[in-house]
Amino acid sequence: MKGRVLIVAGSDSGGGAGIQADIKTVTALGGYAATAITALTAQNTQGVTGIHEVPSAFVGEQMRLVLADIGADCVKIGMLHRPDVIDAVRDVLDDEAPGVPVVVDPVMVAKGGARLLEPEAVEALKRRLIPGAGVITPNLAEAEVLTGLRVGGRDDLMPAARALAALGPQAVLLKGGHLDGPTVTDLLLTGAERPVLMDSPRIETRHTHGTGCTLASAVATGLAQGLDLGDAVDRARRYVHEALRSAPGYGHGHGPLNHGHTVAAFR
């Protein structure tokens, strides 16, 4: 039950989010992770201090070489940062990966507040990558930027999800973790099925760095392994919940999750 996932995202030197979290997640769920790194970041649990950009042509070259040799059963897209990188990624997907499901995590702001997507790249994301994506996985802040709607409570989830669906993805997984309260509610909306509200008890912890990257990569792994979207999302949510519950407590800020909880028995 392997499943090849090509991850197109930025690197996190602290290991909690980005490419590092993606690789850990895919591996922990039994998949095979390949990567195309879009940017290097200098960061830890307390914030991002610098971003070193990767040329868009080199991002495309990484993708093309992986797809031509190893192939992919799903592509997970994270931090893209600039419009030209978005264009390069879209071009490679069109040329080399037609029909391969794509999970788009519209990474815009780091946990510590640093912007990870240039303002002019938002329109490029909406125009070139979100349409046709298998599923997009925005949090509430990202949903507000993409739709212009305010998402301040549970009742706002459905209007926001419908507005996101109007941008053209096949499905929307709107993450409600930023809402207050003892329960975390996510909403899964697909074109042909009724919306599904998924609740789980909130884990009170500051160790939440990389939660969005991890969830999106877990969903991508499930799709790569042949699960339908509902089952992939369910497994991904359970995986993230346990990774939060058993977080190792590293760092002085927003610490990382325990991505390796599925393989703890092999210690």
CATH architecture under which domain 4-256 falls:
3-Layer(aba) Sandwich (3.40)
C-beta of residue 59 within 8 angstroms of C-beta of residue 85: yes
Q: Which residues pair with 2 in a beta bridge?
A: none
Q: What is the pLDDT of residue 115?
A: 61
Helix, strand, or coil (residue 29): coil
What is the DSSP track for 37-73? EEEEEEEETTEEEEEEEPPHHHHHHHHHHHHHHT--S
Q: Which residues pair with 104 in a beta bridge?
A: 77, 136
pLDDT band for position 116 (cuts 50, 70, 90): low
As annotated, the active-site residues are 175, 208, 210-213
Pick the more confident residue, 192 or 158: 158
Q: Give 50-96 pLDDT, tens digit per residue.
A: 999 999 999 999 999 999 999 999 999 999 989 999 999 999 999 99
Question: In degrees, to the nearest 5, what angle opens at C-alpha 21 toward C-alphas 17 and 26?
Answer: 150
**Distance in angstroms (rounded) separating the CA atoms of residues 216 and 182:** 23
Q: Per the structure block, which two tokens stand in for 61?
A: 């070259």
Q: What is the pLDDT of residue 163?
A: 96
Q: What is the pLDDT of residue 81?
A: 84
Please state the separation of Cα 144 from the chain's center in Å. 17
pLDDT at 182 over 80: yes
Q: What is the pTM of this model?
A: 0.95
